[in-house]
Amino acid sequence: MTVIDTAPRKSPDAFRTISEVAADLDVPQHVLRFWESKFSQIRPLKRGGGRRYYRPEDVDLLRGVRALLYKDGYTIKGVQKVFKDQGVRFIVETGRGVGEASVAGLARAAVETMGDDVPASTSASRALEEADESDEELREALTAIAKRLRTLKTEIDRGLSGEPEDF
């Protein structure tokens, strides 16, 4: 016998209760409350009686935290460090399951940032040509990361060569 789900579907922009989010993420409700105590960035709306309502961006953030903890093997302290070092946006993107798109976006950011330093025959250049241009937000984030990495590389190269640092 086939069971047909006749429950009305919520809009993707609708707020979710803690029980809905817990079911969606396959974690107990007390785990969500615990994560709220450990990650100040998780702030659901609280209404009368303390009832929690999660916005779609809260759910994406929780999905990212879950992925880092359960899939990638991070500890609570490790995820706190990711929040500090990479920011909320990185964890939200992790929760959205940015996989192949992040590779193309990273290639695009590397090629755009490095400009003429990257030969056209590199796999990064090829990936850039094949990348979906619809992921502008991710591209911008990865471009900023690539620029920061170039700055760090320059600082490391200076330190290794014995050049004095500019303060």
Cα–Cα distances in Å, from 58 out to 27, 51, 75, 89, 117? 15, 15, 20, 11, 40
Note the pLDDT of residue 100.
36
Look at residue 120 and tell me whether its pLDDT is greater than 60: no
What domains appear along the chain, each with residue ranges and CATH number?
A: 13-80 (1.10.1660.10), 98-161 (no CATH)
Tell me the pTM.
0.55
Is the separation of the CB atoms in 68 and 80 below 8 Å?
A: no
Cα–Cα distances in Å, from 13 out to 1, 10, 138, 149? 33, 8, 21, 35
Report the C-alpha dihedral over residues 14, 18, 24, 25, rounded to 10 degrees. Answer: 130
Look at residue 11 and tell me whether its pLDDT is greater than 90: no
Which tops the pLDDT comparison, 126 or 50? 50
